[in-house]
Structure 1
Amino acid sequence: MNEISISVIISTYNAEAWLEKVLWGYQTQTLENFEVVIADDGSGPKTRELLEKMQKEVKYPIVHVWQEDDGFQKSRILNKAIVASRGNYILMSDGDCIPRADFLEVHDRYKEEGYFLSGGYYKLPMDISKMITKEDILTGRCFDMEWLKENGIKSTFKNNKLTASGNKSKFLNFITPTNASWNGHNSSGWKKDILAVNGMDERMQYGGQDRELGERLFNYGIKSKQIRYSAVCVHLDHKRGYKNQESIDKNNAIRKHTRDSKQPWTPYGIEKRAK
């Protein structure tokens, strides 16, 4: 195995059916030398059994980083996964985002010292999310707009996320009104930069903890590049039982302090100390 160029960190929690589809997506990648680090926020034994089975069937190494179930503690498990990763470049995504075959190749092509990359996703309805098979993923059919339309997807501007390429995707990246923020489902950056700001703020539970990491990277002097129309993944639908307004409000206050203070380092990250 060549030296690992990208460590893909995928968060998951008791969602084996979706996670299996995502792992088949990484089997199709045109970029070869990567690892997948599963940031498992307290799943039961079925997730471990799935990963043991998949490791025998896929071409890339899978590292399983697990912690006891203590409610929604995604920031904490992401920090453990960052420490466990072996590549010098990290891509964060979720266990409900299936990557297109060129997904990692695009991140690898656009990566640049002093920057992180901000991607998006194409959200699928629940019926298609359930219907997608291993074959649909391995053939790339689940990214094909004609196939999706045959299964009920309407024609909208967002379909450009799947169909744009070359100069058109570059142009759409340039004109999109969406900020090039750190998005937990599709963003990447240098491990040394993420460690320099001390990873995720573990006080933060659901709601914007990924954006806050990006805001501290900005404070550290890192810029961002928009690749939402170039690095393509489809997002499988699911319920969000962990979503609550109290957590969102608390996180918004932390984010405001991060922006106002211009501090890059969190004392609530990988290392538990002030700097």
Structure 2
Amino acid sequence: MKGERHFGGLISLIITTYNRPDALAAVVDACFTQSDRNFEIIIADDGSGEATGATVATLAARAPLPLRHLWQSDQGFRLAMARNRGIASAAGDYLIMLDGDCVPQQDFIARHRALAQPGFMVTGSRILVDQATTAQVLSGQLVLQALGLAQLLRLRRSGAINKAAQLLIKLPDVGRARRRFSYRRIKGCNMAMWRADLEQVNGFDESFKGWGHEDADIVLRLFNAGILRKDGAFATEVFHLWHREAQRDFAASNKTLVLERQRNGTTQAALGLKNGAR
């Protein structure tokens, strides 16, 4: 892919998780099979219980690359803080954010590396997996990242996954840049950015309450700081395992804040890397 010349250094993969050790194991196992091995794994844990700790210890014991577990106490939804702690701990200059229920394809790191370019961040793409197929993955009956063409098409025809073309066609780094801010295709479960750019905007904003729009906020503030976004579709797809929807009590108020920041050109997190709790 065009763009591979941009970055050859260590990538830090920050995987966020909360009390879903079976999904986390499936995700990390897929990370162990990556074609590009020049990366580290940081598990940013938002207060999971002992089962997750035990799972991470088992994974770490057979990890073929560096793996660290950063745990914070469970005081409600504090995703931004978990990510900021991961950023602060990262050894790489380029960071990929991945949710602990999103299984990457085997070329996931390689594809993100190929899109890495100074002055840009990347918002990746996802394939939704239905409840029954997710159960097969979590029981070990199905290894998503190892599926062939016929199996992927069969899953698509049955409705087990919501799209397949994005898994079968890989497009080059052409026409991906967005010159204007847009909410479309912002997926916090799969995004990549330069560490220096995150430090410039004070990282993710820990002042957001509850679930919702903290991913749009980081994209917007980076845009306000002059960092453009690339669309990672048809390159960086992950399999998003089924789960019940999170409570959205604060979604409306969080979006109002993002819209206000769009109007006034805000770049800095109110509570972030420089002044958040650690």
Question: Which interval holds the TM-score relative to the shorter structure?
Answer: 0.7 to 0.9
> Pairwise mapping of residues 8-27 of structure 1 onto structure 2 (< 5 A)?
8-27=13-32
8 Å contact from structure 1 (residues 129, 237) kept in 2: yes
Instruction: Give the distance between the partners of 2:162 and 2:130, measured in 1 at CA.
Output: 16
Deviation at 1:156, TM superposition (A): 9.1
SS in 2 for 1:35: strand
Aligned to 1:137: 143
- Paired residue type of 1:185: C
For 2:27, give the aligned amino acid: V
Give the counterpart letter for 1:29 in structure 2.
Q
- CA deviations over 1:166-192 (Å, ceiling 9, x no partner): 46x968x689xx856652111101000
Gaps of at least 5 residues in structure 1 are none
Structure 2 match to 1:258 = 261
Matches within 5 A, 1:1-275: 5-132=10-137, 136-137=142-143, 140-141=146-147, 144-151=148-155, 153-154=158-159, 158-166=163-171, 182-204=186-208, 205-240=210-245, 242-244=246-248, 246-272=249-275
The runs of 5 or more residues in structure 2 that have no matched partner are: 1-7
Match of 1:127, SS state, is: helix
Pair 1:179–1:71, CA change in 2 (3 A): closer
What is the distance in 2 between the residues matched to 1:155 and 1:37? 30
Paired letter, 2:18: Y
Partner amino acid for 1:140? Answer: A
Task: Give CA-to-partner distance per residue, 1:216-264, whole Å, 9 cap, x none.
Answer: 0000000111111111211100113x422x3101211210121011021
SS at match of 1:218: helix
Q: In 1, distance between residues paired with 2:236 and 2:145?
A: 18
Closer/same/farther in 2, CA of residues 34 and 253 from structure 1, 3 Å limit: same
Counterparts of 1:157 and 1:41, CA distance in 2? 29
Conservation of the 8 A alpha-carbon contact between 1:37 and 1:63: yes
Assess, with a 3 A threshold, how the Cα gap between structure 1 residues 182 and 269 changes in structure 2: closer, same or farther.
Answer: farther
| Counterparts of 1:112 and 1:136, CA distance in 2 | 35
Give the whole-Å Cα distance in 1 for the aligned partners of 2:161 and 2:97: 27
Aligned twin of 2:4: none
Query: 2-side partners of 1:32 and 1:156: how far apart?
Result: 28
Identity of paired residues, percent?
27
Alpha-carbon contact 2:123-2:188 (below 8 Å) kept: no
User: Deviation of residue 267 (structure 1)?
Assistant: 2.5
CA distance in 2, matches of 1:195, 1:163: 36
Indicate how the Cα distance of structure 1 residues 188 and 182 shifts in structure 2: closer, same or farther if over 3 A, else same: farther
> Structure 1 CA distance, aligned partners of 2:126 and 2:145?
19
Distance change (3 Å), C-alpha of 1:110 and 1:139: closer
Classify 1:227/1:255 alpha carbon distance in 2 versus 1 (closer, same or farther; 3 Å).
same
Contact 2:130 2:161 in 1 (8 A): no
> RMSD of the alignment, in Å?
2.6
Distance 2:217 2:189 in 1: 14
Which AA in structure 2 matches 1:239? R
